[in-house]
Amino acid sequence: MTETTTVPESETPRALTALLQQQFPDTLIDFHNHRGDETVRVKREAIVSVCQFLRDDPRCKFELMVDLTAVDYFEQHREPRFEMVYHFKSLTHGHRLRVKTPVPEDDCRVDSIHELWEAVNWYERECWDMFGIEFTGHPNLTRLLMYEQFEGHPLRKDYPMDRQQPIIELREIDERNQYGRA
Amino acid sequence: MAAANYGDFLTTTFDNVVNWSRKFSLFQYPFVTACCGMEYMAAACSHYDIARFGAEIPRFSPRQSDVLWVVGTITHKMAPVLKTIYDQMAEPKWVIAFGACASSGGFYQNYSVLQGIDRLIPVDVYIAGCPPRPEAVLDGLMELQHRIQNDGPTVESGMLNPSMARHREQKLDHLSRYFEIPDKQLLENTQNPKSNRSTKPGYVYSDENVVVRPHMGYDSPADQRKKEALREES
Amino acid sequence: MAIEVGPAHPAMHGIVRFTTYVDGETIVDMVPEIGYLHRGFEKESENSKWIQVIPYTDRLNYVSPLLNNIGYSMAVEKLFGAEVPRRAEYTRVIMGEISRITDHLTCVGAAAMEVGAFTFFLWFIKAREYLWELIEQVSGARMTTNWTRFGGNATDLPDGFLDDLQERLDKVKDILDECDKLLSKNKIFIDRVKDVGTISKEDALSFGFSGPMLRACGVPFDVRRSDPHSVYDELDFEIPVGTVGDCFDRYLVRMEEMRQSISIIEQAADKMPYGPIMTDQRWVDYPDKKEVYGNIEGLIEHFKMVMEGHQPPKGEAYVAVEGGNGEVGFYVVSDGSGDPVRVRLRPPCFNYVQAMRHMTIGHYIADIVPIFGSINMIGGELDR
């Protein structure tokens, strides 16, 4: 039962990780196999080429882009603050892969991979909506889950959970204020 | 019906007949958003049959319906849509808040959920539960039918429109039919702090009831002014 | 001309808005707009403890809540590295498959009702009532079950459950047979749904389809087969696969999947072992009440687990289960404290609604209804 997440060169990389290390020698930051999930971390400049390789190369053949999301490490005081997480699944070989990319807060931008899989379009829109990470090259980066008038990016850790921005005027109800709640 | 201070015998019977026909032929508009919709479907289908109460067919147009069932969570993005639909309904209209999310936001207290639809539109009956069992749904419908029965198209204030009359003189009107209570006590609820349904005739409540404010819905502007005046007095 | 198929429409699926641009009656473009039921599941789960997220997961795919519970619990168990005892795994399989049947019953029933077959809907809801009463016997609630815990389940199967299960499954099978006779060879229904909403295999893979939608296109991808979790590799079942990828194929795939689920439940009920339903690994699950009230270590352990929450070791995990709609993925990140860093649900119907535009262009307005019905969009899952 492994306890740590990032394991440097002492751990032997699995087949896919070795392949990626071979093809993209400078871009791989680290990798791990925590709980059996094969994970690699790549630099964000190379994300499009890595994903294209994963989709097209016959040894990888990842037809399904399963998930695309981000994690905000604000409370852990990590630099860089965000981390993009991509999950892929191959139907021909049956293996899964997780690709992570660190994104700094001041230069909150990643290249969009929407030309590789159609599904990525809305996932990236939702990521922008919730986190504010901009995807360069995305055709239509607008709000998806929140409404247009909403200001801020809700899933960031510094957005307070209770801050509501109603778009229609609400009535006042005395009983609610009696107990001190909205 | 027992003595009501509407007027004569003729208007009382007329009221009763009109209300009887209204309550047993409710056309519903189910504004279904979330999980409560599954229990609404269960209540409307053959096992728990809502049709035996007369509330049979959902009319999917607000212009043709009487009761707006707000079923499920309402988010801030959906709130203008709900308000538009409520405004499009013709009088007399009633609103049922179905489930915890519609009554008070449920256990979602965050940036996107409207904390109860009574922040937006006046509600007649709240059905609690997450989701409420179909038996609770039928109980809520029967409560609404009681309230409809106790209304009338010709009330003392001279308004011919029952829901407008209700919205203006609701609390004072109902209570004054059964008790003699001074204004101050009515609006401050000092007469019976344990009662939570003082508008319902003939029911006996025990002391174990949860204390909530006795009037469900909202204060009409007249009531609000009276409360302000009382607060300034004391 | 632009027509709004607006957020509050009579299809009782959820709230989605389609701005449809039509030329005559043919659709030339369509822009779906979602987010009308965004309830902040991910933000709420970051502000709760790990175990408090389980009721939120119920409300995600609310027609098959147990599959969500199972998926989330499996993800956190993976973080812990905890093992679930065999009886708990078998009961999870039974309850999960019952949930899958209720999911398909609701989807096919509602879709058929919108196309015009109202009797279908009433019968399927009656069948769903039989199954919900079963779920209520085990977990206490018909729909929002909150039943799995990390390392096992909250309650065990009551006495007499397996006989009751067999009776009710027979009744459900009868209803399925009768309804099959109604619609599967009905020319009116077939004319309405055949060759409507067709999507090719390559497009489906590019859009990230999974579940019944992908199987209807001809790809035999089922998470229960490709990444078998719990005891699915000991059970024998077939994966129904369609050919063309239109609405009729999806309907047939779902009807057949219900029968396969019934067969899985019967096998699991046969093989049900005796044993504990919760793991005895410490700090994963609350200690036994004898310990809590008996000695001081149990009391302290219980207290710490309740006040500080479960504390899975630092790491991340992704678990995919086969939900009623497709691959439901839970991605959880923990930093060793009792508060989740990230809980992410990968919604299967997100991809389908995104592909709505692709599937409806070239069809008539009236075809929106069967296509949208065959997607089985669940608002709680789409918008979280």
Which residue of C4, C13, C62 is the best one to mutate when testing the B interface, meaning the one whose CB has the most B CBs within 10 A? C62
**The predicted structure's pLDDT at residue B215:** 41
Contact list, A143 vs chain B (CB under 8 Å): none
Taking the whole predicted model, whether its pTM rises above 0.90 is answered as no
Contact in structure between B115 and A177 (CB atoms under 8 Å): no
Q: Per the CB < 8 Å rule, is B218 touching A173?
A: yes
| Statement: residue C14 has pLDDT above 90 | no
One-letter amino acid at A117 equals: W
Q: Tell me, what's the ipTM?
A: 0.90
Per-residue pLDDT tens for B38-93?
999 899 888 888 888 888 778 788 888 889 999 999 999 999 999 999 999 988 88
Contact list, B223 vs chain A (CB under 8 Å): none
**The predicted structure's pLDDT at residue B204:** 43
Q: What is the mean pLDDT of residues A19-36?
A: 87
Q: A22: part of which helix (H) or strand (E)?
A: helix A15-23
**The predicted structure's pLDDT at residue B53:** 87
- Can you list the domains of chain C with their CATH numbers? 2-383 (1.10.645.10)
Which distant-in-sequence residues (6+ apart) come within 8 Å of B152 by Cβ? Answer: B4, B6, B11, B12, B15, B18, B19, B162, B165
pLDDT-based confidence at residue A9 (cuts at 50, 70, 90): very low
Q: What is the mean pLDDT of residues C190-203?
A: 90
**The predicted structure's pLDDT at residue B139:** 85
Per-residue pLDDT tens for A123-152?
999 999 999 999 999 998 999 999 988 888
| Statement: residue A12 has pLDDT above 80 | no
Residue B117 contacts A, CB cutoff 8 Å: no
Residue B133 domain flag: yes
Output the 3-class SS for A123-177. Answer: HHHHHHHHHCCEEECCCCCCCCCCCCCCCCCCCCCCCCCCCCCCCCCCCCCHHHH
Residue numbers of the domain that contains B143: 25-149
Residue B156 domain flag: no
Per-residue pLDDT tens for C165-187?
999 999 999 999 999 888 888 89
Interface A:B, Cβ pairs < 8 A:
53
Q: How far apart are alpha carbons B223 and B219 in whole angstroms?
A: 6
pLDDT-based confidence at residue C355 (cuts at 50, 70, 90): very high
**The predicted structure's pLDDT at residue C10:** 67
**The predicted structure's pLDDT at residue B197:** 39
pLDDT-based confidence at residue A98 (cuts at 50, 70, 90): very high
CA of B217: which chain A residue's CA is closest? A173
Q: Per the CB < 8 Å rule, is A167 touching B213?
A: no
- Can you list the domains of chain A with their CATH numbers? 15-168 (3.30.460.80)
Output the 3-class SS for chain C. Answer: CEEEECCCCCCCCCCCEEEEEEECCEEEEEEEECCCCCCCHHHHHHCCCCHHHHHHHHCCCCCCHHHHHHHHHHHHHHHHCCCCCHHHHHHHHHHHHHHHHHHHHHHHHHHHHHHCCHHHHHHHHHHHHHHHHHHHHHHCCCCCCCCEECCEECCCCCCCHHHHHHHHHHHHHHHHHHHHHHHCCCHHHHHHHCCCCCCCHHHHHHCCCCHHHHHHCCCCCCHHHHCCCCCHHHCCCCCCCCCCCCHHHHHHHHHHHHHHHHHHHHHHHHCCCCCCCECCCCCCCCCCHHHHHHCHHHHHHHHHHHHHCCCCCCEEEEEEEECCCCEEEEEEEECCCCCCCEEEEECHHHHHHHCHHHHHCCCEHHHHHHHHHHHCCCHHHHHC
Which of A64, A69, A98 lies closest to C208 in CB terms? A64
Query: Looking at chain B from residue 58 to 87, which residues have their Cβ under 8 Å from any Cβ of chain A?
Result: 76-77, 79-80, 83
For residue C253 the two structure tokens come to 């795939």
Determine what percent of chain C is predicted with pLDDT higher than 90: 53
Q: How far apart are alpha carbons B116 and B100 in whole angstroms?
A: 8
**The predicted structure's pLDDT at residue C261:** 94
CA of A75: which chain C residue's CA is closest? C341
pLDDT-based confidence at residue B7 (cuts at 50, 70, 90): low
Which of C35, C44, C129 lies closest to B77 in CB terms? C35
Residue B128 domain flag: yes
**The predicted structure's pLDDT at residue B203:** 39
Determine what percent of chain C is predicted with pLDDT higher than 70: 99
Domain tally for chain B? 1
CA of B73: which chain C residue's CA is closest? C37
Residue B190 domain flag: no
Alpha helices in chain B (DSSP H): 9-23, 36-44, 79-88, 100-104, 134-149, 162-178, 183-188, 221-233
Residue B224 domain flag: no
**The predicted structure's pLDDT at residue B9:** 67
Which distant-in-sequence residues (6+ apart) come within 8 Å of C140 by Cβ? Answer: C155
Contact list, A181 vs chain B (CB under 8 Å): 115
pLDDT-based confidence at residue C70 (cuts at 50, 70, 90): very high
**The predicted structure's pLDDT at residue A48:** 92
Residue B171 domain flag: no
Q: Per the CB < 8 Å rule, is A166 touching B109?
A: no
Q: Which residues of B68-85 are buried (b: 16+ CB within 10 A; e: fewer)?
A: bbbbbbbbbbbbebbbeb
**Distance from B41 to chain C by nearest Cα, in Å?**
8
Helix (H, G, I), strand (E, B) or coil at B216: coil
**The predicted structure's pLDDT at residue B201:** 37
| Statement: residue B190 has pLDDT above 80 | no
Residue B89 domain flag: yes
DSSP type of residue B211: P
Residue B97 domain flag: yes
CA of B216: which chain A residue's CA is closest? A175
Chains that touch B (3 or more CB pairs under 8 A): A, C
For residue C212 the two structure tokens come to 């019944």
Per-residue pLDDT tens for C247-293?
999 999 999 999 999 999 999 998 888 888 888 888 888 888 888 88
**The predicted structure's pLDDT at residue C248:** 92
Q: What is the mean pLDDT of residues A47-74?
A: 91
